Chain A
Amino acid sequence: MASRAPGHHGDPGLQPERTALAWGRTMLALVTASAFFLRWLPTYGPPILVLPVISGSAALAIYLTQRRRYQARSHGLAGESIEADLTAVLWTAFAGVVLGGLGIVVILVS
């Protein structure tokens, strides 16, 4: 994934790699959730596609930012300074809240 040699940051605990993998796992979980939402399509019709689109978009956003995130963390760790990634954290949590909320609305309204 990284364009630099492994260990550029010099951290024996490989923290940037582990964090990038954690984001990757979350991305796969979002893709899985999208597939589950598609199971509602025969029951609730096309409007339900909003749900997999939200979870799929969140997964795509993670995928597209993985390289930039890894490089920023790798460089940050080398310089002993990493700023907390507020935007990514808040958007990811927001996606989870919206997906749960819309799912509840779908079940209760139908």
Chain B
Amino acid sequence: MTNSEQQPGPAGPPPRGRIAERLLPGGEEPDPRFTLANERTFLAWIRTSLALLAGGIAVEAFTSGLFIEPVRKGLAVLLLLLGMMLSGGAAVRWLRVERSMRTKAPLPLPLFVPLLAGAGALAAAVVLVFILWR
């Protein structure tokens, strides 16, 4: 018999954790390079999110002589909210990409890219108006 050729050996895919089975069900492990690339992209989004958080803190801490209080607090909350959404969104996107790779489906579009670009453009416009106005 030559059944040893096709049967999976004892060293098959390692058992996955319960959370992994639940959040990343089905499919098969993608190319490890893609998994690592997905993780690096996630981390880049997290750093963007942390930069927004730091920006929000900086606006609240350093601009008391520049903006009136409602504007200062509004800007700080907006930046912190954006950073918070970006953190959560980065994890959701990482999960969606990982699931797509497992099932060899097309990768999802990053939905928060237009949001972030719009917010950046709005912030630049506000600063421009503010500089010209003063």
On A, residues with C-beta under 8 Å from B are 11, 13, 15-16, 18-19, 22-23, 25-26, 29-30, 32-33, 36-37, 39-40, 43, 73, 76-77, 80-87, 89-90, 92-97, 99-101, 103-104, 107-108
Chain B neighbourhood of A22, CB < 8 A: 39-40, 43-44
Q: Does B106 contact A (CB under 8 A)?
A: no
Whether A107 lies near B77 (C-beta < 8 A) is yes
Whether A103 lies near B56 (C-beta < 8 A) is yes
Main secondary structure of the interface of B (DSSP, over half): helix
Whether B60 lies near A26 (C-beta < 8 A) is no
Instruction: Give 9 CB contacts A-B under 8 Å.
Output: A19-B40, A23-B43, A40-B61, A82-B29, A82-B32, A96-B50, A99-B83, A99-B84, A103-B53
Interface centre among A22, A81, A100, A107 (most CB of B within 10 A): A100
Closest to A76 in B: B32
Main secondary structure of the interface of A (DSSP, over half): helix
Q: Does B19 contact A (CB under 8 A)?
A: yes
Whether B32 lies near A103 (C-beta < 8 A) is no
Which one of B36, B56, B84, B87 contacts A82 once the chains associate, using CB atoms below 8 Å?
B36
- Total residues of chain B contacting the partner, CB 8 A: 49
Whether B57 lies near A96 (C-beta < 8 A) is no
| Residues 20-64 of B contacting A (Cβ, < 8 Å) | 20, 23-24, 29, 31-33, 35-40, 42-44, 46-47, 49-51, 53-54, 56-58, 60-62
Chain A neighbourhood of B37, CB < 8 A: 15
Rounded to whole Å, the gap between the CB of B119 and the closest CB of chain A is 14
On B, residues with C-beta under 8 Å from A are 13-14, 16-17, 19-20, 23-24, 29, 31-33, 35-40, 42-44, 46-47, 49-51, 53-54, 56-58, 60-62, 73, 76-77, 80-81, 83-88, 90-91, 94, 98
Rounded to whole Å, the gap between the CB of A26 and the closest CB of chain B is 5
Closest to A93 in B: B91
